[in-house]
Amino acid sequence: MHQRLLKQLVELSFRKGELNRQEVSKIADALNRQQLKAYIGGLKKRIKKETIYVDLAAAPSQKLTEKVTMLYPNKQLVYRVAPELLMGMRITDGDNVFGLNLHDRLETLRQYIGE
């Protein structure tokens, strides 16, 4: 399927920033297996673009969730617990990763000293 057409179909599947079941069903019925696979991949990428993943060493407090929501007002936030971070958090915004945690800081320090 042509990339441009695929993007248009993916955009048409969203209403007011959310995936519309009826539109998705209508589009999916018109596609063959290979096209459907590409369409699903496109939907996943689109959703991922709108989603911010916040990895925390422990469960988030309300104060923290309010602050993060202020930083990303128009995005969907997904909170995950990642004990290996030790302290702090890691924010993944598309292909940008912000390391605000002890694990990443120690890793960076280790690489710096190793150089």
Partner 1 sequence: MVTSDEIIKQLESRLHAFNQDLRSQNVGKVERNNDGIITVSGLSKVEMGELVIFDKGARGVVLNLDEDSVSIILLDEGSQIKEGDTVKRGELLLSIPASDELLGRVVNPLGVILDGKPQIKQGKNMPLERIAAGVVERQPVDTPLKTGIKAIDAMIPIGRGQRELIIGDRGLGKTAIAIDTIINQKQQAKDGKEVKQVYCIYVAIGQKESSVAQIINRLKEEEAMDYTIVVAATASDPAALQYLAPYAGVAIAEYFLEKGEDVLIVYDDLTKHAWAYRQLSLVLRRPAGREAYPGDIFYLHSRLLERAVRLNAANGGGSITALPIIETQAGDISAYIPTNVISITDGQIFLESNLFNIGIRPAINAGSSVSRVGGSAQTGTMKSVAGKMRLGLAQYRELAAFAQFGSELDETTLRDLERGKRLTEVLKQPQYRPLPEPLEVISIWSVNNGLLDDVPVEDVSRFEQELHEYMQTRQKKLLATLAQGKKIDDETGKQLIKAVQEFKKGFTK
| Interacting residues toward partner 1 by CB under 8 A | 3, 45, 94-100, 104, 108-109, 112-113
Residue with smaller CB distance to partner 1, 21 or 45? 45
Classify the phi-psi angles of 101: left when phi > 0, otherwise alpha if psi is within -120 to 50, otherwise beta. Answer: beta
Q: How far is the CB of 39 from partner 1 (least distance, A)?
A: 14
CA atoms within a 13 Å half-sphere pointing along the CA-CB vector of 14: 14
Residue with smaller CB distance to partner 1, 21 or 44? 44
Considering Cα of 80, then 85, then 88, then 89, what sign does the dihedral take? negative
Q: How far is the CB of 46 from partner 1 (least distance, A)?
A: 11
Residue with smaller CB distance to partner 1, 21 or 94? 94
